[in-house]
Amino acid sequence: MRRYIKWLALIVGFAGFAGLIVFLLVKLTPSPPESEVELAMKAFSRANKDKADTYSTKLFNESRAAYDSAMANWKRENKKFLFFRNYEKVETFARLASKRAGQATTTSQINSSSLKISVKEKIDSVNKTVSGIDHIFGRYPLPSDSRKKVAKGNMLLKEAEVAYSKGQYVQANSKINEAEYLLTTVFNTELSDLKDYFKSLPVWKKWAQQAISESARNKSYAIVVDKFSKKCYIYLKGVKKFEFDAELGINWVGNKRRMGDKATPEGIYKVVNKFQGKQTEYYKSLSLDYPNARDMERFKSELSRGSLPAWAKIGGGIEIHGGGGKGVDWTEGCIALTNSEIDVLYDLAKVGTPVVIVGSVKDLSKVLENELLVNGNRGDN
Partner 1 sequence: MKNKVLMGLAAVAMVAFLSSCGKVPQAKIDATNVAIDSAKVAEASVYVPAEFAAVQDSMKAITAAVEVQKSKMFKNFKKIEVKLDETIAAAKKVQADAVAKKAEIKKEVETLMTDIKAVIEDNGKLFKKAPRGKEGAQVLEQMKTEMAAIDAAVVEGQGMYDKGAYMDALNKVKAAKENADKINGELKDAIAKVSGKKVVKK
Site residues, partner 1 (CB under 8 A): 7, 25-26, 29-32, 34, 37-38, 41, 44-45, 48-49, 71, 74-75, 77-78, 82, 85, 87, 138-142, 144, 147-148, 150-152, 154-155, 158-159, 161-163, 166, 168, 171, 230, 245, 326-329
- The distance of closest approach from Cβ of residue 206 to partner 1 in the complex, given in angstroms and rounded to an integer, is 27
- The distance of closest approach from Cβ of residue 310 to partner 1 in the complex, given in angstroms and rounded to an integer, is 32
- The distance of closest approach from Cβ of residue 90 to partner 1 in the complex, given in angstroms and rounded to an integer, is 9
Of 160 and 320, CB closest to partner 1 = 160
Of 261 and 329, CB closest to partner 1 = 329
What is the rounded distance in angstroms from the CA atom of residue 319 to the CA atom of residue 90?
91
Of 229 and 292, CB closest to partner 1 = 229
- The distance of closest approach from Cβ of residue 158 to partner 1 in the complex, given in angstroms and rounded to an integer, is 4
- The distance of closest approach from Cβ of residue 40 to partner 1 in the complex, given in angstroms and rounded to an integer, is 9
- Exposure string over 310-321, b if 16+ CB within 10 A, otherwise e: eebebbeebbbb
Of 150 and 314, CB closest to partner 1 = 150
Of 7 and 17, CB closest to partner 1 = 7
- Look up residue 104 and give its amino acid: A
What is the rounded distance in angstroms from the CA atom of residue 307 to the CA atom of residue 91?
75
Residue 111: burial class (beta carbons within 10 Å; 0-12, 13-18, 19+): buried
- Residues recorded for the chain: 381
- Residue 245 DSSP symbol: E
What is the rounded distance in angstroms from the CA atom of residue 24 to the CA atom of residue 350?
125
- The distance of closest approach from Cβ of residue 197 to partner 1 in the complex, given in angstroms and rounded to an integer, is 16
- The distance of closest approach from Cβ of residue 301 to partner 1 in the complex, given in angstroms and rounded to an integer, is 31
Of 18 and 374, CB closest to partner 1 = 18
Element (H, E) at 33: none
Q: Which residues are registered as beta bridge partners of 287?
A: 273, 319
Note the helical H segments in the chain: 2-28, 34-49, 52-55, 57-78, 88-137, 144-165, 169-197, 201-218, 293-305, 339-348, 364-368, 371-375, 377-380
Of 98 and 353, CB closest to partner 1 = 98
Of 6 and 350, CB closest to partner 1 = 6
What is the rounded distance in angstroms from the CA atom of residue 73 to the CA atom of residue 79?
10
What is the rounded distance in angstroms from the CA atom of residue 266 to the CA atom of residue 249?
12
Contact yes or no for 262/333 (Cβ under 8 A):
yes
- The distance of closest approach from Cβ of residue 277 to partner 1 in the complex, given in angstroms and rounded to an integer, is 28
What is the rounded distance in angstroms from the CA atom of residue 125 to the CA atom of residue 154?
13
Of 44 and 187, CB closest to partner 1 = 44
What is the rounded distance in angstroms from the CA atom of residue 146 to the CA atom of residue 282?
33
- The distance of closest approach from Cβ of residue 83 to partner 1 in the complex, given in angstroms and rounded to an integer, is 11
Element (H, E) at 271: strand 267-276
User: How many other CB atoms sit within 10 Å of the CB of residue 127?
Assistant: 14
Of 203 and 328, CB closest to partner 1 = 328
- The distance of closest approach from Cβ of residue 196 to partner 1 in the complex, given in angstroms and rounded to an integer, is 20
341 three-state secondary structure: helix
Residues 347, 348, 353: CA angle, nearest 5 degrees: 125
